[in-house]
Amino acid sequence: MTKEIIRVEPLSSYAERRNVPSSMAVRSGGLVFVANIPPYDPATGEIKRQPIERQTEIVLEQIKLCLSAAGSSLDKVIKCDVYCTDAAHFATINAVYARYFPRDPPARSFICVMPWHGPFDVEIGCVADA
């Protein structure tokens, strides 16, 4: 199988500015793999402390952008992995997530992790059909 790195601007540039050695999206074997994405501010690429609802919206919009750049969409998502720093955010994240996956949601994991080095509480990655 070959892999195709998908540049997703401005997200790829935001990650490079932070020396993050990861591609935003990779297409291989008929699938699209989207990296776990933190809530980069859409206008500046900075990561700022924001309410968990807004963080989740930003991340899911960025996943939508990555999927679109790779020729896929939210409708084709098979699996999502949600990483969160506090289980108390579960209900809020679910409410936002349900707006993006209103019917036949993909399989999902919700994993609580230690806080990251930045001022954010959620990252989400996914796998979708190409």
Angle in degrees, 0-180, between the axes of helices 52-69 and 90-100, rounded to the nearest 10: 30
Helix, strand, coil share of the chain (percent; to 5): 30, 30, 40
Q: What is the pLDDT of residues 56-97, one digit of tens each?
A: 999 999 999 999 999 999 999 999 999 999 999 999 999 999
Q: What average pLDDT does the chain have?
A: 95
Q: Do the Cβ atoms of 56 and 120 come closer than 8 Å?
A: no
Is the overall model pTM greater than 0.75, yes or no? Answer: yes
